[in-house]
Amino acid sequence: MLRIGVLGSGKGSNMVAIARACAAGDIPARIVQVLSDVPEAGILERARELGLSADHVPPGKYRTKLDEEAERAYAGRLREAGVELVVLAGFMRVLKRDFLGAFPQRVINIHPSLLPSFPGLEAWKQALDHGVKVTGCTVHFVDEGVDSGPIIGQEAVVVLPEDTPATLHERIQVAERRLYPAVVGALAEGRISVAGRRTIWRR
Ligand code: GAR
């Protein structure tokens, strides 16, 4: 059983999808710790409803990243829980060396576009504004850049003429709830390796 730690700032639908896949026995993993930078985040409430250990950890003095002390606090909490894979699920802060160095090649993120298109905030809105006909979601390894690490998996979502930012984001999130558990499962089964920027899936 791969021990997973989840970091999130939002409502927690990806965390719930992964927790359900674990509980159903679909993937050989379990979530052992959920942490959030937002004390009232839905993800903490959802996690507690599922009986998971869930805590707010203060992010420190910056707005878009954790400060060094906070990075060490997050890494420390996850290490204490025996976490082997860190899953970012709507965690809205960039992680740097003090955190990533504690989990080399063991931090993954889901992003609501087909990277490298539309990194950063509100990627579904960026896609709509740009006028693309297809967008989607991407799971990737996390490096020190913004949404820039090696891509593990992607699912495409067609943009409809009547889409608003809200309807498009909703369909991307449906895709996310399929893609993320599948990727976590493949990692838990040891079926994914990395060669430079490319990842290789084994059956
Ligand atoms: C997801 O759509 C995820 O792709 C996005 O936040 C949402 C979290 O939803 N992440 C980012 O935009 C990161 N740059 P959730 O809290 O319901 O899982």
- Listing DSSP states for 30-52 in one string gives EEEEEEESSTT-HHHHHHHHTT-
Cα 24 to Cα 33: distance, rounded to the nearest angstrom: 18
State the chain's mean pLDDT as an integer: 97
Contacts of 36 (CB under 8 A, 6+ apart): 7, 8, 9, 43, 44, 54, 55, 56, 57, 91
User: Tens digits of per-residue pLDDT, 9-39?
Assistant: 999 999 999 999 999 999 999 999 999 999 9
Cα 107 to Cα 105: distance, rounded to the nearest angstrom: 6
Coil vs helix vs strand at 90? coil
100 pLDDT tier (thresholds 50, 70, 90): very high
Looking at the DSSP bridge assignments, the partners of residue 6 are 34, 87
Cα 101 to Cα 144: distance, rounded to the nearest angstrom: 10
How many angstroms does the Cα of residue 89 sit away from the middle of ligand 1?
Answer: 6
Average pLDDT over residues 103-121: 97
How many angstroms does the Cα of residue 35 sit away from the middle of ligand 1?
Answer: 15
Cβ–Cβ < 8 Å for 119, 160: no
Contacts of 142 (CB under 8 A, 6+ apart): 88, 95, 100, 107, 108, 109, 149
Determine whether 140 is an active site residue. Answer: no
Substitution candidate for ligand 1 out of 34, 167, 173, 184 with most atoms within 8 A of CB: 173
Coil vs helix vs strand at 8? coil
pLDDT at 52: 98
82 pLDDT tier (thresholds 50, 70, 90): very high
Specify the pairing of strand 151-158 against strand 134-141: antiparallel
pLDDT at 163: 98
How many angstroms does the Cα of residue 73 sit away from the middle of ligand 1?
Answer: 23
Pocket of ligand 1 (CB under 6 A): 8, 10-14, 43, 89-90, 110-112, 173, 176
How many angstroms does the Cα of residue 90 sit away from the middle of ligand 1?
Answer: 4
Cβ–Cβ < 8 Å for 108, 151: no
Substitution candidate for ligand 1 out of 111, 126, 137, 172 with most atoms within 8 A of CB: 111
pTM more than 0.95 = yes
Residue 160 tokens, joined: 């409809």
42 pLDDT tier (thresholds 50, 70, 90): very high
Cα 106 to Cα 187: distance, rounded to the nearest angstrom: 10
